[in-house]
């Protein structure tokens, strides 16, 4: 069953990822009427929100764009940093949306940030316990029910993290779209392209959350589903 879950969501994730890349390529071919690069848009959005302590930098890779709250940087891939199109606009504004969340102490972002160290520890514990569980728990000197509680508890934290990520990502996209529209950065067709690109980007997080929920349900059934 666990193999089936992994395969199904791996295929689904591949489909969504491929669709996202296809949309990005498509919307990258139409020049932005405002003729602003992703880097220029990011800096403008930060300035409009009175954020002056966040740097916009270029990082290697494709679709490697992210906001780093630790060093306060909006990291944009070359296609986005230099791109002057609807796709680059959407991604750059979205990552700045996270910077705005950080600056305004957005509750869901704070919650997710607080979960990061807990999730990291849970992941390490889960790896150790799952390997030990292959030997019936004897490698840890623990009975199988205790192994079950540890596995379910650890994976619950990881699943919670994927679920909390959803409102954070959707909110960042909403902030981005509202800003580019109010600032007249994009025309109506360009706005629709940006919106569609961000929709498919969000779908990658939705798939990850569903996969995590399905795996958690599987572990709960395996360890506790056969009890009278």
Q: Both tokens of residue 14?
A: 């591949």
Report the candidate in 40, 3, 48 with the shortest Cα–Cα distance to residue 179. Answer: 48
Rounded Cα distance between 51 and 53, Å, is 6
Rounded Cα distance between 132 and 139, Å, is 5
Rounded Cα distance between 80 and 88, Å, is 4
User: Angle 144-182/38-48 helices, nearest 10 degrees?
Assistant: 90
Buried b (16+ CB within 10 A) or exposed e, 213-225: ebbbebbeeebee
Query: Cβ distance 211 to 114 under 8 Å?
Result: no
Report the candidate in 14, 28, 16, 21 with the shortest Cα–Cα distance to residue 63. Answer: 21
40 catalytic residue (yes or no): no
Point out the catalytic residue in the list 40, 60, 95, 190.
95
Q: Both tokens of residue 116?
A: 């990061």
Residue 32's SS3 state is coil
Q: Are strands 73-76 and 55-58 parallel, antiparallel or unpaired?
A: parallel
Residue 53's SS3 state is coil
Catalytic residues: 95
């Amino acid at each position: 069953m666990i193999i089936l879950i992994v395969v199904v969501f791996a295929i689904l994730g591949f489909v969504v990822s491929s669709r996202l890349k296809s949309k990005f390529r498509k919307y990258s071919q139409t020049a932005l009427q405002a003729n602003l690069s992703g880097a220029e848009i990011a800096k403008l959005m930060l300035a409009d929100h009175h954020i002056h302590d966040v740097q916009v930098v270029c990082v290697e890779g494709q679709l490697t764009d992210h906001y780093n709250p630790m060093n306060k940087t909006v990291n944009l891939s070359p296609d986005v940093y230099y791109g002057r199109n609807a796709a680059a606009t959407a991604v750059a504004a979205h990552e700045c949306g996270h910077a705005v969340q950080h600056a305004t102490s957005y509750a869901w972002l704070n919650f997710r940030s607080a979960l990061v160290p807990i999730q990291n520890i849970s992941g390490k514990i889960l790896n150790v316990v799952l390997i030990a569980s292959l030997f019936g728990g004897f490698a840890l000197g623990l009975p199988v029910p205790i192994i079950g509680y540890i596995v379910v508890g650890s994976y619950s934290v990881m699943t919670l993290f994927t679920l909390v990520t959803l409102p954070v990502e959707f909110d960042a996209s909403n902030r981005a779209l509202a800003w580019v529209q109010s600032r007249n950065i994009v025309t109506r067709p360009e706005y629709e392209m940006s919106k569609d690109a961000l929709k498919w980007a969000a779908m990658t997080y939705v798939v990850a959350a569903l996969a995590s929920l399905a795996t958690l349900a599987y572990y709960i059934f395996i360890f506790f589903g056969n009890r009278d």
